[in-house]
Structure 1
Amino acid sequence: CFLASHHCVCLAFETLSGIRMRLGPSMTRTQCYSSIFIYTYCINHQCCLVLVLVCDIAFCMLRPLKYHTISVFPYVNLAQIPCIIFSLSFLIIGFTTMNEETVLACNPPLAYSFPVMDAWNICYLAVNAATVVIYSSALVYTACCETDRHFGKCKENIDKKEQKMPCGGISRLSSSKVSPQSLAAQQRIVKSLSALLIIFCFSWFLGAVAVRGPMIFKMDPKFIAFVQTYAVIPAILSYAQTYYIYFIVSRDYRDAFRKIGIFGLWLTRTNQKSVATGLSSVHRLHSNTNT
Structure 2
Amino acid sequence: MYGTLARINQLVIVSYKIVYLFFGVFGNASLIYLIARRKKLQTKSSILQAIQCLCHIICLIGTQVDTVLTILDIKLPRNQCYTKVSIYTFFETVQAMIMLFLVVDILVIVKFPRFYHTFSTEWYIILALILPVIFGIIFFIWGFIETDDEIVIFCNPPLGLNITASTWFFRYILFLNLLTLIVFLILIRIFYAKDQAKRGDSWKVMKRLQISVVIFVCSWFIAQSANSVFIALGITGETFNFLVANVSFFVLLSFSQSFYVIIWKSKEYRQHFKSLWCFGSTGSRDVTGAHSSIKPGPIAMISRTF
TM-score range normalised by the length of the shorter chain: 0.7 to 0.9
**Contact 2:65–2:84, Cα closer than 8 Å, also in 1:** no
| CA displacement, residues 50-83 of structure 1 (integer Å, 9 cap, x when unaligned) | 1111111111123334322322221121111111
Residue 280 of structure 1 deviates from its aligned partner by: 9.4
1:132 aligned onto 2:171? no
Report the Cα distance in structure 2 between the residues aligned to 1:206 and 1:131, rounded to whole angstroms.
Answer: 13
AA aligned to 1:233 is F
Residue 12 of structure 1 deviates from its aligned partner by: 1.8
1:120 aligned onto 2:169? yes
Residue 247 of structure 1 deviates from its aligned partner by: 3.8
Aligned counterpart for 2:74 among listed residues 25, 32, 40: 25
3-state SS in 2 of match to 1:253? helix
* Structure 1: runs of 5 or more not aligned: 151-173, 175-182, 260-273
AA aligned to 1:139 is I
Report the Cα distance in structure 2 between the residues aligned to 1:14 and 1:99, rounded to whole angstroms.
Answer: 21
Aligned counterpart for 2:191 among listed residues 142, 145, 154: 142
Aligned counterpart for 1:35 among listed residues 72, 84, 87: 84
Report the Cα distance in structure 2 between the residues aligned to 1:211 and 1:227, rounded to whole angstroms.
Answer: 8
1:61 aligned onto 2:110? yes
Q: In the comparison of the two structures, how many residue pairs are matched?
A: 239
What does 1:83-102 align with in structure 2 at a 5 Å threshold? 83-102=132-151
Identity rate, percent? 25
| CA displacement, residues 167-219 of structure 1 (integer Å, 9 cap, x when unaligned) | xxxxxxx6xxxxxxxx85x9867765654443111100000011111110113
* Larger helix fraction of residues: 2
Report the Cα distance in structure 1 between the residues aligned to 2:272 and 2:131, rounded to whole angstroms.
Answer: 26
| CA displacement, residues 213-253 of structure 1 (integer Å, 9 cap, x when unaligned) | 11101134322111111111101111111120234542323
**Contact 1:211–1:228, Cα closer than 8 Å, also in 2:** yes
**Contact 2:191–2:205, Cα closer than 8 Å, also in 1:** no
* Structure 2: runs of 5 or more not aligned: 1-49, 276-289
Judged with a 3 Å threshold, the aligned counterparts in structure 2 of structure 1 residues 41 and 133 are, in CA distance, closer, same or farther, namely: same
**Contact 2:58–2:88, Cα closer than 8 Å, also in 1:** yes
Report the Cα distance in structure 1 between the residues aligned to 2:296 and 2:77, rounded to whole angstroms.
Answer: 50
What does 1:109-258 align with in structure 2 at a 5 Å threshold? 109-147=158-196, 149-150=197-198, 195-253=211-269
Task: Calculate the TM-score normalised by the size of structure 1.
Answer: 0.72
Report the Cα distance in structure 2 between the residues aligned to 1:215 and 1:80, rounded to whole angstroms.
Answer: 29
Per the alignment, residue 280 of structure 2 pairs with: none
Per the alignment, residue 22 of structure 2 pairs with: none
AA aligned to 1:199 is I
**Contact 1:252–1:279, Cα closer than 8 Å, also in 2:** no
Report the Cα distance in structure 1 between the residues aligned to 2:205 and 2:272, rounded to whole angstroms.
Answer: 11
**C-alpha RMSD over aligned residues:** 3.0
Report the Cα distance in structure 2 between the residues aligned to 1:72 and 1:251, rounded to whole angstroms.
Answer: 24
Judged with a 3 Å threshold, the aligned counterparts in structure 2 of structure 1 residues 212 and 89 are, in CA distance, closer, same or farther, namely: same
| CA displacement, residues 140-191 of structure 1 (integer Å, 9 cap, x when unaligned) | 13212422x14xxxxxxxxxxxxxxxxxxxxxxx6xxxxxxxx85x986776
Report the Cα distance in structure 2 between the residues aligned to 1:37 and 1:77, rounded to whole angstroms.
Answer: 23
1:108 aligned onto 2:124? no
Determine which structure has greater relative contact order: mean sequence separation of CA pairs < 8 Å that are 6+ residues apart, divided by chain length. Answer: 1
Residue 254 of structure 1 deviates from its aligned partner by: 5.2
